[in-house]
Amino acid sequence: MWAILSILVENKPGILFKVTHLFRSRNFNIDSISVGTTQNPEFSKMTITTIGDEKQIEQIVKQLDKMIDTIEVKRLDDKKTVYRELVLFRVKVSKASDTMEINNIANSFGAKIHDARKDSIMLELTATPDQIDNLQELLSKYEILDMAKTGVAALQRGGD
Amino acid sequence: METISGARALMKALEKEGVKEVFGLPGGANLPMYDELYKSNIRHILVRHEQSAAHMADGFGRVSRKPGVCFATSGPGATNIITGLATAQADSSPMVAITGQVPVSMIGRDAFQESDIIGIANPVVKYSFQPRHASEIPTVIKKGFYIAETGRPGAVLIDIPKDVQQNEAPMEFPEEIKIRGYHPWTDPDVTAIEKAITLLLSSSKPVILAGGGVIISSAFAELQSLAEMLMIPVVTTFKGKGAFPETHPLSVGPIGMHGHAEANKIMAEADCVLAIGTRFSDRSVGTFDEFEKHLKIIHLDVDPAEIGKNQTTSVAILGDVKASLRIFVRLLLQKATKKSEHNAWFEHVTEVKEYWRQNLKLHPGELTAARILRKLREVLPHQSIVTTEVGQHQMWASLFYDVIHPGTFFSSTGLGTMGWGFPAAIGAKTARPDLPVVDIAGDGSFNMTENSLATSVLDNLPVIVFLVNNYTLGMVAQWQRTFYDRRMIGVDQKHCPDYVKLAESYGAQGIRVGNLDELGNAIKAGLKSDVATVIDIPIDPEENVLPFVAPGTSLKDMILPS
């Protein structure tokens, strides 16, 4: 089971270390992580996606909640949440027709093209992790030379 | 606001917290605080190794239920207390460790005696602080004590760079503090307690499983009232040993890997358990799935993360043990519910108990675990405090030393730290100099911190080391005999050292005994002595701890003496 956790923490040094250490020491998995400041400079928001069974995820939430530096820990319902990740791919261009094909794939996903060269193209997509996986699968045919993901950012619709 | 140094502010803040003793060892990076300690009214108790300072603070904290304080310098001084922090944290013991650190400008440059102790200690503390400005110290100390002693207590580390100790700043000492991400108190959950009562009353074979939380919150009277009103037999975890008087008719004793046979039998037969302040450790319950089969679990705990961690619960009650048990008792009084002594379950429990107390086969000989520990119980005043080390002697203490006065038995049960019992006993004696304190020890464990004899003698903290001596790492030897076909390796201490001479070399009293009468006299001599007494009790290295629930099996599969 895949879960999105939204964790409001004190904006102090060392908190990211403590949160990731908790995952390691409790034998939990981090699928992706993103951290950023919030509208209140005293707080940061971490969004962690994780994989585990129901009992494990409940335990992760409880252990995170127990941490003194966490202000609020929420498990977001993915059906009521907007969640997006940004990815950059650099894809190899081997022959002239590749450029056209890659452009078509990019268009169908709503991905932006950056840095188009004769031997490679860079694509940018902001989408759900599933859509990014789909794009990756299609691009792998042309050989992905490099890629970078940001981790998921998520907000529940209409507040809580 | 007065302008003083960080080190002076530290001492003032400790005095405001009511600290009268600190256990520690000075070094380069904590010299400024030691200089202020010299000028303060706080007593310094010098250790011979920082690990012992941490264990002393832990022992002090468990007995007084106020954080014990230890000091260590940076680098190796700080890394030496890690085992002590982990031990206290694993057993929810309130403790504040204060370490020196290299000056702020040197942090991260691999300076002499620099260690990233905040990073190293992270997984074994409840919280840690590293103030970067002297003015932060009063608030950091206030918060540190607050976190250490509230909710589920634990170990707090405060790491103070040397220049932060030295620098002067205007100091404000807060009377109260709030930490927005920390909510240690929840009101007792009356609705859940009502559900729990209904479930207990509708069960035909209920038991109470009392854990360490009962001892931490000192809920002895409440637990006893509840058990007596409902006539529910009480088993304990090993950490909960002594949460309930073990001579009480409803007491069945500790369950677990080396639990009492009768307790494991009754636990396996029960249909409903009220588990209080326990985390369902694998050592207590055996395999998790087997334990919860055919059993409805009511779990009361102050730590929400413990509920549902190892066992599935039918009723979860979040809250302080003492406050919640008071509600149990009050609701039962309102309902005028009281069960009679003449119920089939209580009668059955009594029969099982009597059977095993009479029929458990004991090791032959005069100086055996059962006989020496029963002798200790016979001679020792009821209020005496007992600590243990870790190993066979610890499990024998669980089996054969009955705690009569609740909350007088302490052991490193979570981390299982050999060498804990002796310094913890010295810490306990510091907290309660009016009471006799005994460390039930094994030779292997005593070896690890025996240099605390110097502290015991020189700082006038006399305790008794009840040394169950088989000159063997006995528990490992038992596993090698049981599971490794007697391939004994790394367990024989080859009759080294001579513990009488060892004790005497520190100015302590050493007594070797050859029979039970001599043992009784030695305990009496220890109770009267002004210095520590090491009683060397030779036992048969072949003696096993039985019953034994092998790892990965369930309580009903325990191995009994053949």
Q: For residue B291, give the H/E element and its range.
A: helix B288-292
Q: Which tens digit of pLDDT belongs to each residue from B195-238?
A: 999 999 999 999 999 999 999 999 999 999 999 999 999 999 99
Tell me what pLDDT residue A148 has: 98
In this prediction, residue B311 carries a pLDDT of 87
- What is the average pLDDT across B242-261? 95
d(C-alpha B433, C-alpha B231), whole Å: 37
pLDDT attached to residue B403 = 98
Q: Lowest mean pLDDT of B97-101, B290-294, B331-335, name the range.
A: B290-294
A43 and A89 belong to one structural domain:
no
**Residue type at B446 in one-letter notation:** F
**Residue B555: its pLDDT value, please?**
85
Strand runs labelled E in B221-309? 234-236, 251-254, 272-276, 296-301
A10 chain-B contacts, CB cut-off 8 A: 181
Number of folded domains that form chain A: 2
Q: Dump strand ranges (E) for B113-271.
A: 127-129, 155-161, 168-171, 206-210, 234-236, 251-254
Q: Which is nearest to B55 in space by CA: B389, B385, B384?
A: B389
Domain CATH for A101: 3.30.70.1150
| Closest CB to A62 among B147, B180, B305 | B305
The average pLDDT across B544-549 equals 91
Specify whether the CB–CB gap between A7 and A36 falls below 8 A.
Answer: no
Query: What is the per-residue pLDDT across A103-157, written as a single tens digit (0 to 9) for each?
Result: 999 999 999 999 999 999 999 999 999 999 999 999 999 999 999 999 999 999 9
For residue A62, what is the nearest residue in chain B, using CA coordinates?
B305
Q: How many angstroms away from the CA of B151 is the closest CA of chain A? A: 11
pLDDT value at residue B558: 87
- A54 and A9 share one domain: yes
A61 and A101 both lie in a single domain: no
Q: Are residues A59 and A121 in the same domain?
A: no
Q: Which residues in chain B have their CB less than 8 angstroms from residue A63's CB?
A: 305
Q: Is the pLDDT of residue B434 over 60?
A: yes
Q: Check residue A160 and give its pLDDT.
A: 55
Per-residue pLDDT reduced to its tens digit, A9-55 = 999 989 999 999 999 999 999 999 999 999 999 999 999 999 999 99
Question: Residue range B152-156: average pLDDT?
Answer: 97
Q: Give the domains, in start order, of chain B with CATH numbers.
A: 2-171 (3.40.50.970), 190-358 (3.40.50.1220), 361-553 (3.40.50.970)
What is the extent of the structural domain holding A45?
2-76
Per residue in B356-406, pLDDT (tens digit) is: 988 888 899 999 999 999 999 999 999 999 999 999 999 999 999 999 999
B354 is catalytic: no
pLDDT in tens, B398-423: 999 999 999 999 999 999 999 999 99
Instruction: Please indicate, yes or no, whether residues A118 and A63 belong to a single structural domain of this protein.
Output: no
Q: What is the mean pLDDT of residues B511-535?
A: 98
Q: Report the mean per-residue pLDDT for chain B.
A: 96
Same domain, A69 and A102: no
Using CB atoms, pick whichever of A10, A58, A70 lies closest to residue B308. A58
Q: Is B123 in the A-facing interface, judged by CB distances under 8 Å?
A: yes
Q: Is the pLDDT of residue B342 over 80?
A: no
- H-type alpha helices, B450-554: 453-458, 474-483, 499-505, 516-528
- State residue A159's pLDDT score: 56
Is A11 touching B (CB cutoff 8 A)?
A: no
CATH code for the domain in which residue A28 is found: 3.30.70.260
Of A25, A63, A70, the CB nearest to B181: A70
Mark whether A117 and A134 lie in a shared domain. Answer: yes
Q: What's the confidence (pLDDT) of residue B288?
A: 83
pLDDT at position B287: 83
B301 has a pLDDT exceeding 60: yes
Q: A118 and A72 in one domain?
A: no
B116, two tokens: 């990233």
Tell me: the pLDDT tens digits for B34-92?
Answer: 999 999 999 999 999 999 999 999 999 999 999 999 999 999 999 999 999 999 999 99
Which residues in chain A have their CB less than 8 angstroms from residue B126's CB?
Answer: 68
Q: CB of B537 within 8 A of CB of B367? A: yes
Q: How confident is the model at residue B116 (pLDDT cuts 50, 70, 90)?
A: very high
Residues A89 and A54 in one domain: no
pLDDT above 90 covers what percent of chain B? Answer: 90
Which of A85, A76, A81 is closest to A151 using CA atoms? A85
B283 phi, psi to nearest 5 deg:
-70, -25
**Residue (of B67, B71, B63) closest to B43 by Cα position:** B71
Supply the pLDDT for residue A19: 96
| In contact, B80 and B71? CB cutoff 8 Å | no
Minimum distance, in Å, between the CA of residue B152 and any CA atom of chain A: 11
Q: In the structure, what pLDDT confidence band is assigned to residue B1 with cuts at 50, 70 and 90?
A: confident
Asked whether residue A68 falls in the same domain as residue A102, the answer is no
Residues A108 and A125 in one domain: yes
Cβ–Cβ gap A62/B147 under 8 Å: no
A103 and A147 co-located in one domain? yes
pTM of the model: 0.95
B194 tagged catalytic = no
Quickly list DSSP for A12-42.
Answer: -TTHHHHHHHHHHHTT---SEEEEEE-SSTT
Residue B118: list chain A partners with CB under 8 A: 14
